[in-house]
Amino acid sequence: MKDLTEIFETVRSHLLAQQALSVDDDGTCRLRGQDGRRCAIGILIDDAHYGHPLEGLGIGYYKTGQDGPLLRALAMSGVDVYRAETLALLHDLEDLHDAGDIADWPLQLSAVAKRHAISMPDEAMA
């Protein structure tokens, strides 16, 4: 299973490289959106475990100890979503993608890392 740092680094690197929201034609956030984009949660789901029925589900719908199709897809992809710490990080990363301003992502990601006690390389914080 991926630890918090691996999860965070995967999402951080992806979002900062993509520099765009993952949305559908109506502008609604999607795990996998237009032009091959992926949201903060979608990037963590392996192709083998992704299916269109997962769209419209969000980490924000789940609380620690719950189960559901999105959580199972993430778990099969190596994300331990049944740990409270992991779920809390995923909630923050989903919120950052869905509600954050793309220009503010670097600062917001640093704040998320700090909140979850994740060490970031110095060059990543600049």
C-alpha of 103 from chain center = 17
Query: For residue 124, is pLDDT > 70?
Result: no
Cα 54 to Cα 1, 31, 73, 74, 123, distances in angstroms:
21, 8, 9, 11, 35
In which band, very low, low, confident or very high, does the pLDDT at 50 lie, cut at 50, 70 and 90?
very high
- This prediction has a pTM of 0.92
Number of domains the chain contains: 1
Q: What is the pLDDT at residue 122?
A: 63
Query: For residue 113, is pLDDT > 70?
Result: yes
Range of the domain at 114: 4-125
Cross-strand partners of 29:
23
pLDDT-above-70 percentage for the chain? 95
Helix (H) / strand (E) element for 95: namely helix 84-99
For 63-90, what is each residue's pLDDT tens digit?
A: 777 789 999 999 999 999 999 999 999 9
